[in-house]
Homo-oligomer: A and B are copies of this chain.
Amino acid sequence: MPRSDETKRETQSESHPLSTLFEPRSIALVGASEKSVWSHFILRNYADFGYTGKVFAVNRNGAAVYGIAGFTNCRSIGESVDVAFIFVPQSAVIEALEDAAAAGIRHAVILSSGYSETGPAGAAAQQELLASAAKLGVRVWGPNSLGFNNLSARAPVSAIPAVLPILPPSIAIVSQSGATAAELYEFAHSQNIGTSFVAATGNEGDVTLSDVLDYLVDHAATKAIAIFAESIRDPEAFAAAAERARAKTKPIVILKIGRSALASAVAKAHTGSLVGDDRVFSAICERLGIIRVHSTEDLINVAGLLASTGPLRHPGFCFMSISGGACTLVADGAEGNGVELPPFDETTQRALAEVLPDFGSKLNPLDVTGAAIRDPSLFERILPIVAAAPGIGLVAVSMTIPTTPGQGLPAALEAIGRALQIIDAPVVMAQTCVKALNDVSRQAIEAHRLPFVITGIDPMLRAVGKASWWSKRLGRPAKPLLLGQPPIAPRPLSTERAVLDYLAQSGVAVIPGKVVRSRKEAAEFANSLHESLVLKISSPDIAHKTEVGGVRLNVARAEVPDVYDSIMTQVAHARPDAAIDGVIISPMRSGGGVELLVGVTNDATWGPTIGIGFGGVMVEVLADVSIAPLPVDREEVIEMLLRLRGAKLLQGFRGAAAANLAAVADSIVNIGNAAIKLGPSVASLEVNPLLVRGDRVEALDGLVIWNENERTHV
């Protein structure tokens, strides 16, 4: 039945510019043939998903394919078509695109491969393809993509096979890899997690995963979004969509691969070891409220859990089981996964004691022992008590879900199902080991009105920890990332003292000091100070001052003139070529305190990023660094400091005064802001050390390196 574009548009979602692509009413399958494996997979989907739109087969002979009417080209279809799904050989793709455009088709999904994934020649072919598409006014999904299945609209444009039965929609799966999209979708199904949308974005020549993400934020059937990605091509769009998702309390979970490759691409800047690696992406996720995971199973489990529970109102988790072993496994694994198991308050314990008089302890995790097998009504009486306990945001109750007929204890499942009818708080079911839930399981779940089931103690704890983190993070809008900022002219921060003076102007407490240029000036300035002193050569040309005899520590006031002369002589001897600015005189800081290292670098993708670590062994041997995108605020910096493995050092280690965390944080916030003001042409700004002694926070040395490798001071 031909429809006019107008009628069609009225009934489609108008909310998204790509809704015609994502919710197609009619699809031309360009390259369809009964001889092709791809055609087989693609066409079977229309029956399996129950697509209600129109499908046309396009091939050289205009032959019908598996009963679908055939046409020699798109123009001859004679009806409005929303999407051309192109899987002809590479050599015929542009011709197919031109035909589609001529037929008025504005969207193409291109499965054909041989493009940027194969190397430079392929990349050139992709450029040519995209240029053609742009000229023709056709948006392109792919190439080298298995397409997408919009399951909630029952609209497949994809070679990802349907997994049957189709479950009620819950999570969306977006993957750059097609094989992985199919595998994630299948794994979700095995966990009884319904998929609302599954997409393989392939080479992302035009439409990217950020576009899909943006669409899914408003996709009603999608309760959570799971992303499998190797690279984020458009960080601004990605960040914007993520922030919209946060505001709508729709969780995003991401498995970003290529960690190891990224880690080996060592950044060139001095402070590269601090931030020039994959940890920047983790910091971005932290900022954007995106849950980062590292396994395919976690990706699906976390999305599935949060799709089922929504944000958790309290961080506390309660686990109950008839198996003491399972309870101990949960107790063992909780802390490492960030799962809080709050002990029950007295009211809860009293209420439990009435139901379970013979129990010695009313601990969380709660071992209800075999008593609950003999008397399943215990579940009905216990669940409401623990679900109402203060601080508990999620309860998991462990009881076998059958996978073969006759397995498990139906009376216990029935009791759990009944209990859930009167409970408000989220309850899920747990299984000790990972298992695949099948039709038998689904029958039991439906019969007993059971909630979401998460299988495996370890996967459960990881998912609960992530869900809890996300729920806490949710209320905090993400500060916008500083992407695409205009360049600012470099300031001449050519010496240590110039950098420190610049930081001082930005509100950072810095060590006093002065560059002196004569023996006399040195003596005069030294006499104005009341401590023992440090003298250092000041030269834009000298990177390693100690090696040329340019540093003297612990100098008494009276010795200053001689030491001044000695430094000037030694440096002139060692580096006759260097331009000498003078000698910096500062007070000597000794006698304790904690040294921090604060470094800002500009990440090529994500913009300016700040790294904080403890000086010395902690950062150099252990790479113990907290990272965040700039700007940062006091609260965030305190969190970053406390996340360091050496955080104890700030809390009054070995009788030292505890650091004033707010003062330290304010200093670091100001360093970050000073770096931002230098603009994107600063490669790095580093303060090393930032000395902390109780309430006193003081930058002792500063260094700025510009992108042009203009080394302005060491």
Contact = CB atoms under 8 A, between A and B. Distances in A.
Contacts of A373: 37
Interface stretch (A330-338, A554-562, A681-689): A330-338
A119 B358 CA distance: 11
Nearest to A255: B329
Contacts of A328: 230, 257-258, 261
B295 A260 contact: no
B622 A257 contact: no
Nearest to A333: B294
Nearest to A437: B436
Interface in A316-359: 322-326, 328-329, 331-335
A187 interface: yes
Contacts of A653: 617, 620-621
Interface stretch (A208-216, A508-516, A643-651): A643-651
A160 to B, nearest CB: 13
A456 B260 CA distance: 19
A208 to B, nearest CB: 17
A323 B180 contact: yes
A666 interface: no
A296 B331 contact: no
B325 A433 contact: no
A575 to B, nearest CB: 21
A303 to B, nearest CB: 14
Contacts of A323: 177, 179-180
Contact of A179 (B175, B260, B432, B435): B432
A342 to B, nearest CB: 15
Contacts of A294: 332-333, 458
B297 A113 contact: no
Contacts of A325: 175-177, 179-180, 228, 230, 257
Contact of A113 (B37, B331, B370): B370
A170 to B, nearest CB: 17
A183 interface: yes
Contact of A435 (B190, B230, B335): B190
A378 interface: no
A434 interface: yes
A618 interface: yes
A186 interface: yes
Q: Chain B CB within 10 Å — which of A300, A328, A618, A646 has the most?
A: A328
A360 interface: yes
A259 interface: yes
A433 B179 contact: no
Contacts of A537: none
Contact of A436 (B322, B331, B436): B436
Interface string A92-132: 00000000000000000000010001010000000000000
A231 to B, nearest CB: 11
Given A621-B648, A621-B653, A622-B645, A329 B436 contact: no
Nearest to A324: B177
A319 B539 CA distance: 54
A618 B649 CA distance: 11
A618 B322 CA distance: 41
Contacts of A261: 328, 331
A648 B616 CA distance: 12
A258 B332 contact: yes
B295 A458 contact: yes
A184 interface: yes
Contact of A617 (B186, B434, B618): B618
A654 B373 CA distance: 63
A326 B180 contact: yes
A478 B259 CA distance: 38
Contacts of A457: 295-296
A578 B90 CA distance: 92
Interface in A449-469: 456-458
A460 to B, nearest CB: 11
The 3 closest A-B pairs by CB, nearest first: A177-B325, A436-B436, A187-B433
Given A161-B407, A179-B325, A180-B326, 19 more contacts: A37-B373, A119-B360, A176-B325, A177-B323, A177-B325, A180-B323, A183-B432, A183-B433, A228-B325, A230-B328, A257-B329, A294-B332, A296-B456, A296-B457, A297-B458, A620-B653, A621-B645, A621-B646, A621-B649
26 contacts: A177-B324, A179-B432, A180-B325, A180-B432, A183-B431, A183-B433, A184-B433, A187-B433, A190-B433, A230-B328, A257-B332, A258-B332, A260-B334, A261-B331, A296-B432, A296-B433, A296-B457, A297-B433, A297-B458, A434-B434, A436-B436, A617-B646, A617-B649, A620-B648, A620-B654, A621-B648
